[in-house]
């Protein structure tokens, strides 16, 4: 299964001396719903982080065909949001950083608010979406801590 493949990959990388470097990290990409169910065994073997490929995971989870995912946003699928939140929580229980990736994730404000709310370590998007994503994450964090800056002035 996945854990055997992961151990084999670690042994192969170690044979090249890559795992001896402190700055070399192995991240697991989650692209299928079944990867969530095998996640614990892989986390037990020492993966350094997890990257959730939202677009791939959503397509396989919901059965949405290419191009149609724009009509069904991630935030509108409560089961998918629960799956993603579950991945984040499981990784955090193991003190493993988890990054959520999607090229256009900045379009899905409610989804971002949900994953920020459960403690996602990072969110990755395309370069042209970084400013928009930063603004949405800022709003999500502001909402999370319950601070209102609407009338706050800095002189």
pLDDT of residue 77: 85
CB 14 within 8 A of CB 44: no
95 has a pLDDT exceeding 80: yes
Least confident of 44-53, 106-115, 124-133: 44-53
Name the strands in the sheet holding 27-30, side by side, starting at the edge strand that comes first in the sequence: 27-30, 49-53, 98-101, 122-124
Average pLDDT over the chain, rounded to an integer: 83
Taking phi over 0 as left and psi of -120 to 50 as alpha, with beta for the rest, 108 belongs to: beta
Confidence of residue 44 (pLDDT cuts 50, 70, 90): confident
152 has a pLDDT exceeding 60: no
The terminus-to-terminus CA distance of the chain in angstroms comes to 59
pLDDT of residue 34: 85
Confidence of residue 153 (pLDDT cuts 50, 70, 90): low
147 has a pLDDT exceeding 70: no
Percentage, residues of the chain above pLDDT 90: 45
The structure's pTM equals 0.78
Q: What is the pLDDT of residues 28-37, one digit of tens each?
A: 889 988 888 8
CB 58 within 8 A of CB 80: yes
61 has a pLDDT exceeding 80: yes
pLDDT average, residue stretch 98-116 = 94
Residue 51's DSSP bridge partners are: 29, 99
Higher pLDDT, 153 or 100: 100
């Amino acid at each position: 299964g996945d854990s055997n493949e992961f151990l084999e990959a670690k042994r192969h990388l170690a044979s090249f001396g890559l795992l001896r470097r402190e700055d070399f990290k192995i991240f697991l990409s989650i692209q299928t719903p079944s990867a969530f169910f095998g996640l614990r065994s892989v986390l037990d073997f020492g993966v350094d982080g997890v990257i959730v490929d939202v677009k791939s995971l959503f397509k396989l989870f919901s059965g949405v065909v290419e191009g149609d995912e724009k009509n069904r946003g991630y935030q509108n699928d409560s089961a998918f949001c629960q799956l993603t939140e579950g991945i984040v929580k499981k990784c955090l229980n193991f003190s493993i950083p988890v990054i959520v990736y999607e090229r256009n994730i900045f379009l899905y404000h409610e989804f971002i608010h949900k994953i920020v709310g459960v403690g996602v370590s990072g969110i990755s998007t395309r370069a042209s979406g970084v400013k928009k994503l930063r603004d949405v994450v800022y709003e999500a964090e502001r909402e999370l801590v319950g601070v209102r800056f609407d009338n706050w002035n800095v002189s």
